[in-house]
Amino acid sequence: KKKLKISGRELVSVPPQVFGLDQLQVLEMSPERESCLRYRMELLPQEISRLRNLTCLYVDSNNLKKIPAEIGTLSCLERLTLSNNNLSSLPAEMGALQRLHSLHLANNSLTELPAPVCQLRSLIFLDVSDNKIGTIPSSIRHLEKLETLLLLFNSLESLPEDVCVLRNLRTLWLGNNQLQSLPAAFGELVNLDWGYNYCSCNFEGNPLESPPPEVCSRGPEGIRDYFLSLHRI
């Protein structure tokens, strides 16, 4: 068996028989979105390390408080969803997941972007919306392949210049934070889609002063011109 979905109104643990399925590639332990259920699993067992062929692990909408260090042994993992849990940190061993390209961490209790995340060089999609993140480490510059970064509903007061190094970014959502200014090099993120129908760069809900919101709406060229004019002054 290569794909398994475990469901149940009162799911609180992983059935031990699952860890004998050493050819398993996809393991889903998240309730259906339309069901409005929330599972109650608090711990992902250490035995998860036996599933060495896993490429996708879905554990959304549980009550996870801790991820075991053994997660780092899942070297084939490409997609990991941990949204809607109670995580306040991630194990350092997660930095070993060098095939991981999609990581979902929305709606947890993270107060900072965990250091292991910034070691995931293959990461293309990262969602850390709806946490309590107040700062972004400079090591984010290592996520060279990152195309989507969702940071809505956090506590960000500033962005490091290092974000502007992520030239492959196509979607960057920063809405509903505490940002008063953007880095001077922000206008270098020219691959962001600033179209009218789908704005991939979102600033709504921030007390932006530099540059003001009307400048941001003009796209990267408008932001570059704004900072150039400040430099001339």
Q: Which residues pair with 199 in a beta bridge?
A: 194
pLDDT, tens digit, 9 for 90 and up, residues 89-139: 999 999 999 999 999 999 999 999 999 999 999 999 999 999 999 999 999
Q: What is the mean pLDDT of the chain?
A: 89
Amino acid at 210: S
Token pair 């150039």 in the structure block, residue:
228
pLDDT at 197: 45
Rounded CA gap, 93 and 115, in Å? 10
Domains of the chain: 3-231 (3.80.10.10)
Q: Which two tokens stand for residue 219?
A: 């796209």
What are the Cα distances from residue 138, in Å, to 12, 75, 118, 163, 191?
38, 26, 9, 8, 21
Residue 140 has pLDDT above 90, yes or no: yes
pLDDT, tens digit, 9 for 90 and up, residues 141-178: 999 999 999 999 999 999 999 999 999 999 999 999 99
pLDDT at 195: 56
Token pair 């995580």 in the structure block, residue:
87
Mean pLDDT of 36-45: 79
